[in-house]
Amino acid sequence: MGIGSNLISIVELDSNGFKHSSFETIHAAKQLSNAGWGPVTAIAFTNNNSLDTKELFQYRADKVLLLVHPSFETYNRWAMTKALESLIEPNSTILMGATIHGKELAASLSATLDAGLASDCIALEPGENGALTARRPVYAGKAYSSLTLEGDKHKICTLRTNVFRPEGPDTSLSGDPEVLEVSPASNLIEKILEVSKSGAKKDITEARIVVSGGMGLGEPANFKLVEDLAEVLDAAVGASRNVVDEGWRPYSNQVGQTGRTVSPDLYIACGISGAIQHIAGMSSSKCIVAINKDPYAPIFSIADYGIVGDVLEILPLLTEEFRSLLKP
């Protein structure tokens, strides 16, 4: 059985429902659809055959396909790859978020389907005869590469989160999903035994505001100052690699080349030097604020606003100021 559409958005769920990156991939697919490509099918993996999918329609998916199997209670790379393998119609374009899971699933699908893959895209441009040109940051964000996927093989792209911003939901839109019970389990080579949560309140790759701390905080207890500001701003907490290596914060907080890539509206770097490997993970933030006691710290070269001073003194002042400004 085929999916009946060549434009596919793979959507992701967490305990709060669909992740925002899902709506971003639908939006990016819809832009291609509006340029004359086919309708957009959003595909969700779930163990719940009555999953509420109205948001996917409201974010303008033309069709929704629920692939249902007990193993889809959690992310399951191999089972998901196997379920998609037999369903994807020839010459399909498959978009998913450049999230931890999206990046792995895209690579797995690319190998399984022998398809071209452009990862961490920040723009997509449709070309002649179904060609698709993807723009992606390379060399730790110092340059951009344009990569064209063409020919009649599948095309797979992962999209940097917070870049393909959709319009809000259109609540007049609705639809019924197609529900397909799949059975990818016969040749499973991976089984999820346990899922442990990091304890982070917000995923740094999805947050609109990230407050990140570095070694300039001096000691782990001072991260409380970063957490306080993050709480007032409804932000996620990030960290430099050295902080993570020291065990002050979990790896899921790490921003940078060997951590996560973030593109929030506002990134506040607190006591972070701005090494190239850190900048690689946050330079596409819309507005960067840096607090550092060294006026020559490299972070100031990419900051929109810089505060030269002691982060331990400045953070409580900022938190109080925002608290009174944002008071309901």
Ligand X SMILES: Cc1cc2nc3c(=O)[nH]c(=O)nc-3n(C[C@H](O)[C@H](O)[C@H](O)COP(=O)(O)OP(=O)(O)OC[C@H]3O[C@@H](n4cnc5c(N)ncnc54)[C@H](O)[C@@H]3O)c2cc1C
Residues making contact with ligand X (CB under 6 A): 214-216, 240-243, 254-259, 271-273, 275, 277-278, 281, 291-294, 297, 310-312
Residue nearest to ligand X (CB): 256
253 — phi, psi (to 5°)? -85, -15
The minimum distance between CB 247 and ligand X, in angstroms, equals: 14
Cβ proximity to ligand X: between 184 and 271 the closer is: 271
Cβ proximity to ligand X: between 107 and 312 the closer is: 312
Question: Helices in the chain by DSSP H: which ranges?
Answer: 20-34, 54-58, 77-85, 100-113, 223-233, 241-245, 276-279, 311-326
Residue pair 88/3 in contact (Cβ under 8 Å)? The answer is: yes
The minimum distance between CB 144 and ligand X, in angstroms, equals: 20
Cβ proximity to ligand X: between 110 and 254 the closer is: 254
User: Quick one: tokens of 326?
Assistant: 């944002």
The minimum distance between CB 303 and ligand X, in angstroms, equals: 12
Number of neighbouring beta carbons within 10 Å of residue 275: 18
The minimum distance between CB 20 and ligand X, in angstroms, equals: 23
Cβ proximity to ligand X: between 21 and 212 the closer is: 212
The minimum distance between CB 257 and ligand X, in angstroms, equals: 4
272 — phi, psi (to 5°)? -115, 130
Cβ proximity to ligand X: between 111 and 138 the closer is: 138
The minimum distance between CB 143 and ligand X, in angstroms, equals: 18
Cβ proximity to ligand X: between 3 and 282 the closer is: 282
Q: How far apart are CA 282 and CA 259, in angstroms?
A: 10
Which has the closest alpha carbon to 35: 7, 75, 3, 74? Answer: 7
Residue pair 256/271 in contact (Cβ under 8 Å)? The answer is: no
Pairing of strands 116-121, 123-126: unpaired
Residue pair 286/192 in contact (Cβ under 8 Å)? The answer is: no
Cβ proximity to ligand X: between 180 and 312 the closer is: 312
What separation in angstroms does the CA of 321 have from each of 291, 317, 325?
16, 6, 6
The minimum distance between CB 315 and ligand X, in angstroms, equals: 9
Helix/strand/coil for 188: coil
